[in-house]
Amino acid sequence: MNEPAPAERIAIRTHNDIVTARHAAREHSARLGFGRAYQTRLATAVSELTRNVIQYAGEGSCLIEGQNDADGCSIQVTVEDHGPGIPDLALALADGFSTSGGLGAGLPGTRRLVDHFQISSEPGLTRVVIRIRKAR
């Protein structure tokens, strides 16, 4: 079985970092043997989350961890920022809601793209943890 790449933390400061982060996410998932559809889903999800970081918080970080266990493998991505936070999480997770004139599909769409989605937000710390999983 393929060994996961060591955990990787990417600072998110500019638009280029979005590309770096999603590229890394794709590489990590490819290395663990995820198919192209999985890779694209994870890379897109990372792209959405890191773009949110740039757009709403200015800067943050993205941690990518691969894991291999007895009955499968998974990739977990943690995206964090120290921005103003999301005042109403339920609203932010609703389809079609956007405070920035976007499509309003970013967060709810990302949630649908991945197998596990967890978000917590308060002023000064917003953290989103996503995971995709593949059974052996």
Partner 1 sequence: MTQSLAQVLHSHQDALLEQWLRDLSEASADVGFAPVHPELIEPLRKLFPAIIAQLGQAPDAAVSPQSSPASPASASESAQPAASSEQRAALDAQLQQLIAEQARLQRNLSDTLGFLLHLKHLLLKALLSAADQAVEERAILWLDQYFEQIAQQTLEHALAQRDRYISEQSLSIMELSTPVLRLWHQILLLPLVGVIDTGRARQITDHLLEAIAKYEARVTVIDLTGVPIIDTSVAQHIMKTIDAARLLGSRVVLTGISPEGAQTLTKLGIRFGDVISRASLRAGIAEALLITGKRIAAMEAGTR
Per rule CB under 8 A, is residue 60 in the interface with partner 1? Answer: no
Residue 79, phi then psi, degrees to nearest 5: -110, 125
- Of the pair 30, 125, the CB lying nearest partner 1 is at 30
Half-sphere exposure (CA, 13 Å, Cβ side) for 80? 10
79 neighbors 64 (Cβ within 8 angstroms): no
**Which helix (DSSP H) or strand (DSSP E) does residue 122 occupy?**
strand 116-122
Pick from 61, 78, 110, 126 the residue near partner 1 by CB under 8 A.
Answer: 110
- Which x/- pattern over 27-56 shows residues binding partner 1 (rule: CB under 8 A)? ---------xx-xxx-xx--xx--x-----
Per rule CB under 8 A, is residue 85 in the interface with partner 1? Answer: no
DSSP secondary structure code for residue 105 in this structure: -
Q: What is the closest distance, in whole angstroms, from the C-beta atom of residue 102 to partner 1 in the complex?
A: 6
130 neighbors 77 (Cβ within 8 angstroms): yes
Per rule CB under 8 A, is residue 67 in the interface with partner 1? Answer: no
Q: What is the closest distance, in whole angstroms, from the C-beta atom of residue 24 to partner 1 in the complex?
A: 13
Count of residues that interact with partner 1, criterion CB under 8 A: 24
Distance between CA atoms of 112 and 8, rounded to whole angstroms? Answer: 24
Distance between CA atoms of 115 and 72, rounded to whole angstroms? Answer: 13
Q: Which residues bind partner 1 (CB under 8 A)?
A: 15-16, 19, 22, 36-37, 39-41, 43-44, 47-48, 51, 95, 102-103, 105-106, 108-110, 112-113
